[in-house]
Amino acid sequence: MAKIFLNVLLAIIQVEFGSTLEDVMQSSESMGLPPNTLRIEDSIKQGCKYFASLLESANAKGCDLNSVIQSYNYGGGFLDYLAGNGKKYTFPLAENFSKMQSDVVLYLSLYISVKRNIIKLWRCYAWII
């Protein structure tokens, strides 16, 4: 992977790490494994591989780098969503996607972010850049 993405990948590690767990890129889920399954080195390898696949998909769809960064957390479906909504990351689009997903995703974790909306409370699907 090109060195130009090194700082982006380091930033992802910084955001995803946040604990003493070894899956520093929280990348086990991208392999279909339970959360925090991978050890440090395997987590970095898989995280870079997953990022590269998102980058390739974004390039094919004409989406920007910020879309890839957000998709690292949201999943590739966010790129599909953006491809039909202007192809460029915006906070309102990320927020809307988050709201749409939080209405359909079943949460089995106690770690659900709740954000106050003027109309109602809604679960935040994941971190937003």
| Domain definitions of the chain by residue range | 3-124
What the block records as the tokens of 23 is 């899956």
Q: What is the mean pLDDT of each run of 10 residues along the chain (129 residues)?
A: 84 79 90 91 95 97 96 94 96 91 60 42 49
Q: Are 73 and 8 in contact (CB under 8 A)?
A: no
The pLDDT of residue 109: 45
Q: Is the dihedral of CA 99, 100, 101, 105 positive or negative?
A: positive
Is there a contact between 108 and 89 (Cβ–Cβ < 8 Å)?
no
- CATH fold of 3-124, please? Lysozyme (1.10.530)
**What per-residue confidence (pLDDT) applies to 55?**
97
- Whether the full predicted model's pTM is greater than 0.75, yes or no, is yes
Dihedral sign computed on CA atoms, order 34, 40, 44, 46: negative
What pLDDT does residue 102 have? 79
Predicted local confidence at residue 83, as pLDDT: 96
Q: What is the pLDDT of residue 3?
A: 81
CA 96 to CA 92: how far, in whole Å?
6
